[in-house]
């Protein structure tokens, strides 16, 4: 079953005519690691809310087309029905945290799904080790730093063991190492657990390294869809859209333009492999 | 010699915690420097900068701005010299219009009405917010809000500017305009302290980098020296700017930015 099918989907927020998402169609296949990039206001967060049913169930507006998550139409299935299929991690972790301890935070989801206590325990251990927060099991989440909160929010979603994960700029508050750790977590979930990933991010350096496919969104539409190596090497195109190209691409683009290197690279790995 | 900003053996521990957020930090910062304060989340960067505008007073040690201890000044007095732009602009924005937001500081400082008007005009033009004068701040985009937060601080013309993660969460165009604004402020001679994880921002603007880890300063030097130290980069959870890694890969002069890498490459290949 296809994790995500988006067909001619459009959405406008109440009291506006502007289609923040405008006639978008795409599929995300089982086990794919897809990233969506685009400038602020391009509609990527809205698209992400629509993919787990927050739109239209919590945020209403004018809908067109439809979205199916593992065959379930998000317009007719409530977010809680979709939560075992697709986990969502939002930009601001504070909107997701509420419990008195990190452990309770992580136990909440699986408890609601009726999971056995020993299995919940196992999942908590696993999720905490993935996000490097073992030491903070008994901590009040609001005493944590921004980055730590984000890691707890991610771990809390992981304990529900969803089949697909949507992440809306999950690393925007983390330090570079933390960003990389989150990407490593996502990669591990993808490679080892076969989880389908849809990641909304500004961090194109990491997308180039980790994702298998990248979509560029602008003014409500998907304007490019391809492998990161191709899409993220189009430096001038990205500048025009308002997406920061990977730093390696930015650097090699200048050299390539002056005929100093044979290609624009998007990762250090590609730069090392480049022969001329 | 006494530095413009003098931090002497400052320690600080938050209530209900059992470790020092700052332990014996000493640091001198001169007028006109642009210092990047680096280190992982929780290393004490924010605690340290809160000492500079008096939000926190040292539990031990001393912080002095231009020779005067922060203990002898109120936050309001310090605000004339030290402007602090918070990480999340939503936390500092409160007024009903952009103009009102930006006028608040100078009005509080008792500036004359005409002067306020003139300063607000200047600052709104500088931050490209002039078209939004009457706009409600909450309807601005993330990048615009961040510029508004900056405008509301620089309008009072503080000598020292503290910018806490000025580019976090912003998209490419907003980051570019923030880099441009901070560069101009630096060129005007402001003393700038930048708390950031954005290595491309550091490599483009900072003249000095100070690395914190577990409440202590563990390194202090030029950004190039700091990021060339692989062991330090690893230990302090920093990330080398890709341009620097590429210049090492290709054996050209160490370069911090794509622009300087291209230059080094041309020269190296000759």
List residues of B whose CB lies inside 8 A of any A CB.
39-42, 141-143, 168-175, 197, 199-200, 237-239, 241-243, 245-246, 249, 258-259, 261-262, 265-266, 269
Is residue B45 within 8 A of residue B23, CB to CB? The reply is no
Is residue B48 within 8 A of residue B212, CB to CB? The reply is yes
Determine contact: A247 vs chain B, CB below 8 A.
Answer: yes
Is residue B132 within 8 A of residue B123, CB to CB? The reply is no
Determine contact: A174 vs chain B, CB below 8 A.
Answer: yes
Determine contact: A219 vs chain B, CB below 8 A.
Answer: no
C-alpha A20/C-alpha B144 separation (Å) is: 19
Pairing of strands B82-85, B160-164: parallel
Residue count of chain A, please give it.
Answer: 276
* Residue B228 distance to chain A (closest CA, Å): 16
pLDDT at position A146: 67
User: Domain coordinates of chain A in residue numbers?
Assistant: 4-85+162-273
Place of tokens 């602008």: A218
CA-nearest residue of chain A to B14? A143
C-alpha A170/C-alpha B126 separation (Å) is: 32
> How far is CA A20 from each of CA A10, A17, A209, B145, rounded to the nearest angstrom?
7, 9, 29, 20
- Given an 8 Å threshold on Cβ–Cβ distance, is A260 in contact with B266? yes
pLDDT at position B138: 86
Determine contact: A272 vs chain B, CB below 8 A.
Answer: yes
SS3 call for A84: coil
Residues of B in contact with A92 (CB under 8 A): none
> How far is CA B43 from each of CA A129, B19, B88, B150, rounded to the nearest angstrom?
21, 12, 19, 25
**pLDDT in tens for each of the 276 residues of chain A?**
899 999 999 999 988 888 999 999 999 999 999 999 999 889 998 999 999 898 999 988 999 999 999 999 999 999 888 887 898 888 777 777 889 999 999 999 999 889 999 999 999 999 998 777 899 999 999 888 767 887 888 899 889 888 999 999 888 877 777 777 788 888 888 998 889 999 999 889 999 999 999 999 999 999 999 999 999 999 999 999 999 999 899 989 988 998 888 999 999 999 999 877
Q: Which value, to the nearest 10 degrees, does the dihedral of the CA atoms of residues A82, A86, A92, A97 take?
A: 70
In this structure, the number of other CB atoms found within 10 A of the CB of residue A72 comes to 16
Determine contact: A148 vs chain B, CB below 8 A.
Answer: yes
Q: What is the DSSP letter of B26?
A: E
The tokens of A103 are what?
């452990």
CATH of A4-85+162-273, one of 3.40.50.720, 3.40.50.300, 3.30.60.50, 2.60.120.10: 3.40.50.300
- Angle, helices A117-130 vs A102-112, to 10°: value is 130
Q: What is the DSSP letter of A98?
A: -
The tokens of B130 are what?
């002039």
> How far is CA B154 from each of CA B84, B127, B134, B160, B217, rounded to the nearest angstrom?
9, 10, 19, 10, 28
Determine contact: A251 vs chain B, CB below 8 A.
Answer: yes
* Residue B26 distance to chain A (closest CA, Å): 24
| Residue of A251, A261, A275 to mutate when probing chain B, most B C-beta within 10 A | A251
- Given an 8 Å threshold on Cβ–Cβ distance, is B237 in contact with A272? no
- Given an 8 Å threshold on Cβ–Cβ distance, is A271 in contact with B249? yes
Is residue A137 within 8 A of residue A102, CB to CB? The reply is yes
CA-nearest residue of chain A to B239? A176
pLDDT at position B270: 52
| Residue of B91, B145, B197 to mutate when probing chain A, most A C-beta within 10 A | B197
Contacts of B139 (CB under 8 A, 6+ apart): none
Determine contact: A45 vs chain B, CB below 8 A.
Answer: no
Q: Give chain A's end-to-end CA distance (angstroms, integer).
A: 44
C-alpha A57/C-alpha A79 separation (Å) is: 7
Place of tokens 């080892």: A192
C-alpha B227/C-alpha A249 separation (Å) is: 20
| Residue of B36, B239, B242 to mutate when probing chain A, most A C-beta within 10 A | B242
The tokens of A122 are what?
């196992």
Determine contact: A131 vs chain B, CB below 8 A.
Answer: no
Domain B5-224 class in CATH: alpha beta
- Given an 8 Å threshold on Cβ–Cβ distance, is A145 in contact with B42? yes
C-alpha B146/C-alpha B165 separation (Å) is: 10
Residues of B in contact with A272 (CB under 8 A): 249
Residues of B in contact with A175 (CB under 8 A): 39-41, 197, 237
pLDDT along chain B (270 residues), means of 10: 94 91 97 95 91 95 96 91 88 88 90 92 93 90 90 94 90 90 95 92 94 97 96 91 90 91 81
B224 burial via Cβ count (<10 Å: 0-12, 13-18, 19+): middle
Q: Which candidate, A37, A102, A86, A53, places its Cα nearest to that of A243?
A: A37
Is residue A195 within 8 A of residue A228, CB to CB? The reply is no
- Given an 8 Å threshold on Cβ–Cβ distance, is A39 in contact with B172? yes
pLDDT at position B182: 95
pLDDT at position B269: 63
* Residue B30 distance to chain A (closest CA, Å): 27
In this structure, the number of other CB atoms found within 10 A of the CB of residue B15 comes to 4
User: Domain coordinates of chain B in residue numbers?
Assistant: 5-224
pTM value is 0.84
SS3 call for B50: helix
- Given an 8 Å threshold on Cβ–Cβ distance, is B41 in contact with A178? yes
Residues of B in contact with A253 (CB under 8 A): 258
């Amino acid at each position: 079953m296809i994790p995500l099918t988006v067909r001619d989907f459009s959405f406008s927020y109440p009291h506006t005519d502007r289609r923040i998402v405008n006639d978008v169609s795409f599929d995300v296949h089982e086990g794919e690691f897809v990233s969506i990039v685009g400038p602020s206001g391009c509609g990527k967060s809205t698209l992400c809310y629509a993919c787990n049913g927050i739109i239209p169930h919590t945020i209403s507006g004018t809908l067109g087309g439809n979205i199916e998550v593992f065959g379930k139409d998000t317009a007719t299935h409530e977010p809680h029905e979709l939560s075992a299929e697709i986990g969502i991690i939002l930009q601001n972790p504070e909107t997701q945290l509420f419990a008195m301890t990190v452990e309770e935070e992580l136990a909440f989801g699986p408890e609601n799904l009726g999971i056995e206590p020993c299995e919940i325990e196992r999942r908590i251990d696993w999720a905490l080790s993935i996000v490097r927060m073992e030491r903070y099991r008994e901590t009040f989440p609001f005493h944590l730093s921004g980055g730590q909160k984000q890691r707890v929010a991610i771990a809390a979603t992981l304990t529900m063991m969803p089949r697909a994960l949507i992440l809306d700029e999950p690393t925007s508050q983390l330090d570079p190492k933390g960003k990389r750790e989150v990407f490593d977590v996502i990669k591990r979930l993808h490679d080892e657990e076969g989880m389908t990933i849809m990641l909304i991010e500004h961090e194109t350096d990491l997308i180039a390294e980790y994702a298998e496919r990248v979509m560029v969104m602008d003014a409500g539409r998907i304007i490019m869809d391809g492998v990161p190596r191709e899409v993220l090497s189009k430096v001038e195109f990205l500048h025009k859209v308002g997406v920061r190209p990977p730093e390696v691409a930015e650097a090699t683009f200048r050299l390539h333009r002056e005929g100093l290197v044979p290609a624009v690279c998007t990762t250090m790995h590609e730069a090392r492999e480049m022969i001329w | 010699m006494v530095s413009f900003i003098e931090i002497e053996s400052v320690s600080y521990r938050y209530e209900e915690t059992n470790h020092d957020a700052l332990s014996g930090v000493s640091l001198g910062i001169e007028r006109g420097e642009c210092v990047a304060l680096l280190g992982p989340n929780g290393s004490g960067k924010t605690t340290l900068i809160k000492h500079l505008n008096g939000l926190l007073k040292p539990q031990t040690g001393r912080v002095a701005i231009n020779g005067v201890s922060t203990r002898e000044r109120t936050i309001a007095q310090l605000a004339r010299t030290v402007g602090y732009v918070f990480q999340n602009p939503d936390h500092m924005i409160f007024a009903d219009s952009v103009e009102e937001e930006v006028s608040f500081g100078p009005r509080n400082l008792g500036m004359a009405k005409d002067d306020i008007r003139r300063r607000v005009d200047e600052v709104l033009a500088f931050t490209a917010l002039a078209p939004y004068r009457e706009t409600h701040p909450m309807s601005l985009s993330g990048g615009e809000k961040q510029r508004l937060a900056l405008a509301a601080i620089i309008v009072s013309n503080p000598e020292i500017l503290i910018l806490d993660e000025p580019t976090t969460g912003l998209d490419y165009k907003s980051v570019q305009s923030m880099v441009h604004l901070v560069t101009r402020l630096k060129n005007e001679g402001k003393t700038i302290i930048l708390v950031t994880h954005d290595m491309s921002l550091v490599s483009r603007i900072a003249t000095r980098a100070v690395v914190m880890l577990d409440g202590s300063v563990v390194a202090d030097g030029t950004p190039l020296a700091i990021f060339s130290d692989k062991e330090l980069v690893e230990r302090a959870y920093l990330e080398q700017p890709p341009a620097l890694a590429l210049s090492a890969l290709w054996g050209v002069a160490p370069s911090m930015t794509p622009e300087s890498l291209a230059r080094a490459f041309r020269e190296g290949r000759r």
